[in-house]
Amino acid sequence: MFGIDPLYYLMIAPAMLLGMWAQWRVRSAFQEGMNQPAPLSGAAAARMILDQGGLHDVPVEEVPGELSDHYDPRTNSVHLSSAVYHTRSLAAVGIAAHEVGHALQNAHRYAPFVMRNIAVPAAVVGPNLSIMLIIGGAIFSLPWLISVGLVVFSGVVAFQLINLPVEFDASARAKRLLSELRVVDDQGAIVVRNVLSAAAWTYVAATLQAVLTLAYLFLRYGSSGRSRNE
């Protein structure tokens, strides 16, 4: 559907440009941070923060891939890419602490984190399902089906909006805890902040693209649905 409509790409161009810049900044900050030594590896820093927070039962596991680090609330486990897991660098401890921040959010029942977990199904199935509903409504002249598709995609946007404070809070926790536990000094904290701030822009870009895509769908199909009702 989008592939044949230049209007879509025109509308989301700002998000695409921001996303490309954010990805470049992440890789640049990550490589710079990986060259700055830290007293602990990412795995050791994660373990220290978890234990300090009383989360002794949360495992820290190594996963393949680059920048594949994540926290899995289903298994209550922190997963670190090989480079982050093994390397004693400021980038590694910063990323590891960020993922541990999510574990702390889960343990403390941080409200936006709980809401994000509830909205995960909308984020997973919402994009494809909404497009199928909208296309089906357009093909068979069913305005109500288009409306349902727009509502479903609105759930995707809601997930992205909820995700922003979750990610920002995890980074804030990471920076604070690394300083409090003296894993990084004042100069090291600056490097960690640069790495985590760069990563934050990728979430902003994803959110902006979702919002602009929803605006496109309303512009392209919302008016179509209304005109058929008149």
User: Is residue 96 a part of any domain in this protein?
Assistant: yes
The HSE-up count of residue 61 (CA atoms within 13 Å, CB side) is 13
Give pLDDT tens digits for 12-60. Answer: 999 999 999 999 999 999 999 999 999 999 999 999 999 999 999 999 9
Q: For residues 146 and 130, give the distance between their C-alpha atoms in angstroms, rounded to a whole number.
A: 8
User: Is residue 219 a part of any domain in this protein?
Assistant: yes
The residue segments making up the domain with residue 151 are 2-37+90-229
Exactly one of 62, 66, 99, 230 is catalytic; name it.
Answer: 99
User: Is residue 204 a part of any domain in this protein?
Assistant: yes
User: Is residue 53 a part of any domain in this protein?
Assistant: no
User: Is residue 52 a part of any domain in this protein?
Assistant: no
User: Is residue 80 a part of any domain in this protein?
Assistant: no
How many domains is the chain partitioned into structurally? Answer: 1
Whole-prediction pTM: 0.90
Active site residue 167: no
User: Is residue 50 a part of any domain in this protein?
Assistant: no
Q: Give Rg (Cα) of the chain.
A: 20
**Could you give the residue ranges of the DSSP H alpha helices within 80-185?**
82-86, 90-107, 111-139, 143-180
User: Is residue 57 a part of any domain in this protein?
Assistant: no
Q: For residues 153 and 23, give the distance between their C-alpha atoms in angstroms, rounded to a whole number.
A: 25
104-108 long-range contacts (CB < 8 A, ≥24 apart) are 104/49, 104/53, 104/55, 104/173, 105/166, 105/169, 105/170, 105/173, 106/71, 106/73, 106/76, 107/53, 107/54, 107/55
pLDDT per residue of the chain (230 residues) written in tens, 0 to 9: 555 789 999 999 999 999 999 999 999 999 999 999 999 999 999 999 999 999 999 999 999 999 999 999 999 999 999 999 999 999 999 999 999 999 999 999 999 999 999 999 888 899 999 999 999 998 998 999 999 999 999 999 999 999 999 999 999 999 999 999 999 999 999 999 999 999 999 999 999 999 999 999 999 988 654 544 44
Could you tell me which residues come within 8 angstroms of residue 94 by beta carbon, excluding any fewer than 6 positions away?
33, 174, 175, 178, 191, 192, 195, 196
Average confidence score pLDDT of the chain: 93
